[in-house]
Amino acid sequence: MEFSHSVVVNAPVDRVWALVRDPEQLAPAIPGLESIEVLDETTFRAQIAQRIGPFRARFDLTMSLVEVIEPRRITATGQGTEGGGGLLKVPSAVVELEPISPTETRLSFSMEFSLLGKLGTLGYAVVKHKAGEMARVFSENLKKTLEE
């Protein structure tokens, strides 16, 4: 399954880069994030809880950066488990920044993922809808943080 989203923020690219490059600063923008732990420069672990359809899911996710092109692009991969015995695989998560002007930046992100187990049986439409909703909220939170 894949989803993508982009948002234009009233902040210079270096400020946006500083935020997306630091998992602890980025954390408040992530919907449902319960905790984040930076393991090293390229790896972090997060716990995220969400309601997906009739289920309340809690994911323990480990993400690793595989490519960092400053200040333009971050590519990561990851995987995790869900409390109900499910598995979340993230073969690709990409964040890209494009300066539009000295004070505006387009932030785009995309993610390819698969969800296996009980939640995976909910069906493509339910999971895709939730992913899109989370992407929209994440974008709104980033925009608010950067424009304060």
Per-residue pLDDT reduced to its tens digit, 24-71: 999 999 999 999 999 999 999 999 999 887 878 899 999 999 999 999
Reported pTM: 0.89
On whether the CB atoms of residues 52 and 132 are closer than 8 A, the answer is: no
Distance CA 54, CA 113 (A): 20
CATH code at position 36: 3.30.530.20
- Predicted local distance difference test score (pLDDT) of residue 130: 86
Q: Given pLDDT bands bounded at 50, 70 and 90, which one contains residue 120?
A: confident
Q: Name the pairing type of β-strands 43-52 and 2-9.
A: unpaired
| Confidence bin at 123 (pLDDT 50/70/90) | low
Asked if 92 and 111 count as a contact pair (C-beta separation under 8 A), the reply is yes
pLDDT at 115: 84
Tell how strand 55-69 and strand 73-82 pair up.
antiparallel
Q: Which domain holds residue 7?
A: 2-147
Total structural domains in the chain? Answer: 1
What's the mean pLDDT in 78-92?
Answer: 91
CB neighbours of residue 144 within 10 Å: 12
What is residue 53's predicted lDDT score, i.e. its pLDDT? 79
Q: What share of the chain is helix, strand, coil (3-state, %, to 5)?
A: 30, 55, 15
Cβ-proximal residues to 134 (8 Å cutoff; 6+ apart), any chain: 31, 32, 50
